[in-house]
Amino acid sequence: MEYIKDPKMIETRSFEIIQGIIDDIRPGYKFKNEIEEKIIKRCIHTSADFEYLDILKISETAVDKIIDALKNKCTIYTDTNMALSGINKTRLNALGCEYKCLVADERTKELAKEKGITRSMAAVELAMKDEGRKIFVLGNA
């Protein structure tokens, strides 16, 4: 067996496999549009969880709002360093966007302790005080 070694080709093949599984488990499944298809398939690719076909709901204006924020140099805040590591920083830098995870920030630790809340909750409070457009990437904690 010959292994695929080019990362882009591996990704392409992975998405072909995902579509094949969707065709097997959900014959006739239709995405609302191309952007929704890309988002849901990326979630499946990241998690190997095909339940995203049913549980991920994308509002009619969500994608346009995200694109607008990115074009206007927003800051993306994550609640984990793991989520931050999965973000394409090269593309964000090209757009003039910033990206931060405040969970380990000393201010976050102090606020969480003071209020008796989680560091994720405190990080959101701190982020809301920052100026400018924001996108939050929050996990399931």
* Residue 99 bridge partners (DSSP): 76
Residue 14 burial by Cβ neighbours in a 10 Å radius (0-12, 13-18, 19+)? middle
71 is catalytic: no
Spatial distance between the Cα atoms of 56 and 106, rounded to a whole number of angstroms: 34
> Which of 45, 100, 133, 134 is flagged as catalytic?
45
Q: How far out from the chain centre does Cα 132 lie? A: 20
Strand order in the sheet with 98-101: 98-101, 75-78, 134-137
User: Active-site positions?
Assistant: 45
